Structures are given as C-alpha cells and as structure tokens.
Amino acid sequence: MKLDTLPLRRYVAFLRAINVGGHTVKMDQLRTLFEGLEFANVSTFISSGNVAFESQRNDTHAIEREIEEHLQQALGFPVATFIRSAAEVRAIADYRPLAADRVADEHTLMIAFVRSPPGDQAWQKLQGYRTDKDDFHVHQREVYWLCRGKISESAFSGALLEKTLGTAATMRNSTTVRKLACKYAAPLRGMPHNDKA
C-alpha cells in the first residue's frame, strides 16, 4: 500500500528537558520544527515538551530517531524523544497503578516514559527507594512514582530514576497526562488496573 493512501495516525511526543538547563525553546518554534518533518496537525501542550501530531507512518522508533536527529541539528543539543500513540496516552491516563485508598488528593503521581519496559534487575533496584513517602510501579513502558506529599519534599528525583533504571526517561505529572488524553484521545474501555506494584 502506498504511503499516501494510509490513514493519518495521531501521536504524542514527550520530549526530555526541552526547557531546562539553560535551554529555552518557544512552542511556536517547536511546532515549526515538527512541521518541517512533514507531520500534520501539529500542536503543543504547555511548555514542558508535549507535541501532538499526525503521521501516516507507524514505526514509532523510527519516528523517535528522526525527531531526535532533527531537533539536535536545529537546536544544538540532544532532546530524547518518547512517542506514544493517542490510544496509548489514553490507556496510560486511564491506568490505575496503585490502590485507590493509597492515592490521596494531597499526593503527587508522576509518570516516567522510557524506551522499553524496565527489566527485573532495574525493577529490584527501584524497589530499594521505596519509603513511607515514595512508592513505585511499572506497567509496560511507563514507571509510576507516587510521592505522598510534594515532590520537593522527596529525596527521590527524575535524575535518580534515570540512574536507577540505567536509561533516559522523561517525566510528567499524571494530571498533565490526563489532560493530554482528554484533548487528543477518546476514552478506552476495560483497561487493566494491575501490574508490578
């Protein structure tokens, strides 16, 4: 089947550290860079590096590499990119990683996106950081970090997560992910609600 006859697929790119460490990238510039890759209906969501777009391609790993190479060339610094389809974003938003009675309103639930599911060794290392304040859960290519309170009050961090897993990751508040799902993906039914916990 020719590429021009394939349907458009909606994706969300989660970019790592796009506006931290002295780097500043305006969202209109970011949209232009994505449009330069011939993606359709490009839009950004807040300034933490969330870009929705449509493409006829379905090889997400190839899309990630293409975006990373393009951004490195245009911006002059590496930007790790993690692609999820709109359906995957909805599934992540709907997923409940921890029992409802363990997640209170004053707690913070962060979701880290990684390239591939963490192995058992990385998972065991992560469990070493479990405390009364911090808890962790892995499901597919996402790592869920529950902080019982404010993130600033925890000794854990995104940098420590990457070091523990031995891989790059980018993290979003679960509230942001739910908003992305509402904006770019229809709800799914019958989502699973348990995995490594």
Kindly state whether residues 35 and 81 are assigned to the same domain. Answer: yes
Residue 195 domain-assigned (yes or no) = no
Q: How far apart are alpha carbons 40 and 18 in whole angstroms?
A: 21
Residue 192 domain-assigned (yes or no) = no
Single residue among 71, 89, 107 that ends a domain in this structure: 89
Residue 100 domain-assigned (yes or no) = yes
pLDDT 10s digits, 122-169: 999 999 999 999 999 999 999 999 998 888 889 999 999 999 999 999
Q: How far apart are alpha carbons 47 and 182 in whole angstroms?
A: 18
Q: Which helix (H) or strand (E) holds 31?
A: helix 27-35
Residue 7 domain-assigned (yes or no) = yes
Residue 49 domain-assigned (yes or no) = yes
Residue 191 domain-assigned (yes or no) = no
Instruction: State the residue range of the domain holding 142.
Output: 96-184
Taking alpha carbons only, the member of 191, 196, 21 closest to residue 89 is 191
Kindly state whether residues 39 and 102 are assigned to the same domain. Answer: no
Q: Which two tokens stand for residue 99?
A: 């029992």
Residue 104 domain-assigned (yes or no) = yes
pLDDT 10s digits, 3-15: 566 788 999 999 9
Kindly state whether residues 73 and 142 are assigned to the same domain. Answer: no
